[in-house]
Amino acid sequence: MENTNSKSTGLKVAIGILVVLFLGTGFYTSKLYKDKKENEATLTKEKQQVMADLSNMAKQYDIAIGENDVANQHLVDARDRIEGLMDSLKISQNSVNSLWRYKKKFLSLQEEMDVLLTENDKLKIENELLATTLDSTNVQLAERAMFTDSLLVQNTELAEVVENAAALQAVSLKGFGVIERSSGKLIPTERAKRSDKIRVCYTIARNTLVGSGDKELYVQVLDPSDNVLGANEQIQFEDKVLNYSLVSKFNYENRSLNICEFVAPNDDFLTGRYIVNVFNEKELISTTEFTLR
């Protein structure tokens, strides 16, 4: 009888322990599931916040790029990196390590944006000051604008390509009509009938791979009827014949050099679009256009 009671008591104790273990396991499992859901919700919320921050950053770049007639390539590249990071974040797993990596990249891009936008604001201010101080009686302001343009080019990847090329390159090419006073003073004008000459200005980019010494480039100015103005002489390079308006000769000393040339009309200037091309032998290295009314 005692053995039966002892076995019954032991069985009850065992069942009690199992019940306690089962309840404890169920509670622990429920807590883990709850914690997992809370962590997932937190990670999803933080991921959405990082995505929103990146989107706002991309919009700031779009505004900065849209404020300039010529986009700063550094701003464009930075915006493209942000869009690539957003695409990657969309398909990433919701994990602490993954989200932390994206937060670090975001902080790095934030620092880069602060620097780029500050530089862009400085360039905008410089350009605005140049625009407001434009004096039609002083053509030197055009040369100053070209110098500013050359600084912009040096801040882009294009400048790195130009500097690494083993050939002279012309940047910041501009063409415009000028009135020539008897005193020698030059006045820019957009009117065909008032133009005495066309002034062509450009900058030779610094290139350490090009040896110093006397150099020459060929300038070609086409009027609205595609006539070559100026000398309209020919030179042949292998299988190509080039008609040019003038030969621009200069002494290159391994540094940036601003050059301006004049092209006289063959007759009265026509109204319409003019095209200016600069050739390094047979290679077209720069082109621009302007209009005389």
For residue 122, name the pLDDT band (cuts at 50, 70, 90): confident
Evaluate the CA torsion angle 158, 214, 289, 69 in order and state its sign: positive
Q: What is the mean pLDDT of the chain?
A: 77
**For 260-287, how does the pLDDT look when each residue is reduced to its tens digit (9 = 90+)?**
999 988 788 999 999 999 999 999 999 9
Of 8-22, 50-64, 109-123, 211-225, which gets the smallest average pLDDT?
A: 8-22
Q: Are 139 and 199 in contact (CB under 8 A)?
A: yes
Contacts made by residues 225-232, CB under 8 angstroms, sequence distance 24+: 225/270, 227/266, 229/198, 229/263, 229/264, 229/265, 229/266, 230/263, 230/264, 230/266, 232/266
Of 71-80, 177-186, 217-226, 237-246, which gets the smallest average pLDDT?
A: 71-80
pTM equals 0.44
Which are the contacts of 170, defined by CB distance < 8 A and separation ≥ 6? 202, 203, 204, 205, 217, 278, 280, 285, 286
For residue 163, name the pLDDT band (cuts at 50, 70, 90): very low
And the tokens for 102?
Answer: 């994206």
Contacts made by residues 287-290, CB under 8 angstroms, sequence distance 24+: 287/173, 288/173, 288/174, 288/175, 289/175, 290/174, 290/175, 290/176, 290/177
